[in-house]
Amino acid sequence: MLRQFLRKWGRPPIPQIESLPASAPGLGYRVAEVYIFDTCTHRCGYCWLAESGQVLDFKQLEPFRSTEWIANVGGFFNRRTTAKSKWLLQFTGGEPLIAPNLDLLCRYLFEGGNRVAFYTALLVGRNHPGFRFLASQSSPRVDYVMASFHPEAEIDEDRYFEKIHALRDAGHRIFLRYVGHPARLHRLDELAERCAKLNICFYPTTLFSSSFPGAYTEEERDRLRHHFSSLSQFLMLEGGIDTTETKCFAGSKVIGVNLQTGDITPCISVHHPSIGNVFRDELELSRVAISCPEAGINCSCDVHYQQDIVVGFPDRARFEEQKTGFVAPRDLFGEIVRMKQAGTMFYRDSTAGIGNVKNDSRLFYTIEEVRQNYRVNRGLPGPSQVTESFKT
């Protein structure tokens, strides 16, 4: 029934289906970094979406309520799926689990043989439709779950870890992502031990803002490095690689998709050029490694190293190992030293790439503060009428 329903809304196949270019390594799953919306359940002090109030823009969820819209999005990827080239859609935002009809979209993609992954903070109830759907799935359809453990979850962390247990028992490959704000580093050892007992990957990450990672002390850097198990994590602590002279397979092995506009760029870190649009059913992929379209920014998205996108900086083998469970820390700082000696440049501009938080001193905002941020950034008078209905 689902197949028949979805076919009703799908358009006829397009004449030519793009396959992964022969020049790009790793035939198989091409990655779509899918930014679904700004709306979120969290109010993290180190996130520009909370700082700007964007987390309260619930209007961005409206398109997902249309089954025709859902079918168009799923159809776009399914029509570009072949036996040799399928898609891994990595859903991020915002909080992807609060998207209406999330189950319908994913089931449509599964019918085409594609996979998904989720970047989620899990701050929804276990009876929320998004969590119920996730709990009903497992690997390989859901390739992995990057579950961030933010300060708001620490207020009731038993509830958070109950959901981690449920997803692990359902067969998911889980990362516990932990943003390394200086005020949170004291918990690294404890959380690493807990993840080891659960046999899930402990994945502490660098804080990105207008001052970090440059503002870390050497002691703080050492604390973080002590719990890293992949090259990607070490690269992020350096601020990412300067892209002035790099080559990568953005636009061929990976694409960035903004589901609010449908616009597609070579990766999620750049704003141009446009290489297609989901709602116009357009996509023009590259066939060779390219120079960064915004050369000079920091390539500070760990996905690009985890998927071997950036030429000369592969980390996929370690990422695949991290998916399997807890991985003991590795001392890979020597590789960073060798890169610097070979002329690799890092972190030349703190405002480049991701991470444009201005005030990184807060761990999280109150709902009233975020409402005020929302009003100020939109020039709206009076109190906001936004509610927190997403927690039900």
Assess if residue 116 is contained within a domain. Answer: yes
pLDDT greater than 80 at residue 306: yes
Q: Which of 90, 43, 65, 129 is nearest to 374 (CA)?
A: 43
Domain range holding 288?
A: 2-10+28-391
Q: How confident is the model at residue 377 (pLDDT cuts 50, 70, 90)?
A: confident
pLDDT greater than 60 at residue 354: no
Q: CA-CA distance, 339 to 36, in Å (whole number)? A: 35
Q: CA-CA distance, 213 to 180, in Å (whole number)? A: 10
Q: Which of 50, 72, 54 is nearest to 63 (CA)?
A: 72
Tell me, what's the pLDDT at 384?
46
Counted domains in the chain = 1
Tell me, what's the pLDDT at 47?
83
Assess if residue 264 is contained within a domain. Answer: yes
Assess if residue 148 is contained within a domain. Answer: yes
Q: Which of 167, 166, 190 is nearest to 178 (CA)?
A: 190
Q: CA-CA distance, 322 to 229, in Å (whole number)? A: 8
Q: How confident is the model at residue 288 (pLDDT cuts 50, 70, 90)?
A: very high
pLDDT greater than 50 at residue 102: yes
| Longest CA pairwise span in the chain (Å) | 60
Over residues 173-188, the pLDDT tens digits come to 999 999 999 999 999 9
Q: CA-CA distance, 345 to 302, in Å (whole number)? A: 16
Q: CA-CA distance, 80 to 307, in Å (whole number)? A: 20
Assess if residue 72 is contained within a domain. Answer: yes
Q: Which residue has the higher pLDDT, 369 or 252?
A: 252
The number of helix segments (H) and strand segments (E) in the chain equals 14, 14
The strand ranges marked E within 11-95 are 29-35, 86-92
pTM over 0.85: yes
pLDDT greater than 60 at residue 260: yes
- Least confident range from 226-235, 295-304, 358-367: namely 358-367
Over residues 223-242, the pLDDT tens digits come to 999 999 999 999 999 999 99
Going 345 to 350 to 356 to 361, the CA torsion angle's sign is positive
Residue 384 CB-density burial (10 A; 0-12 exposed, 13-18 middle, 19+ buried): middle
Q: Which of 246, 181, 245, 186 is nearest to 216 (CA)?
A: 181
Q: Which CATH number do you get for residue 268? A: 3.20.20
Percent of the chain scoring above 90 in pLDDT: 73
Q: How confident is the model at residue 11 (pLDDT cuts 50, 70, 90)?
A: very low
Q: Which of 23, 142, 20 is nearest to 82 (CA)?
A: 20
Q: CA-CA distance, 207 to 167, in Å (whole number)? A: 26
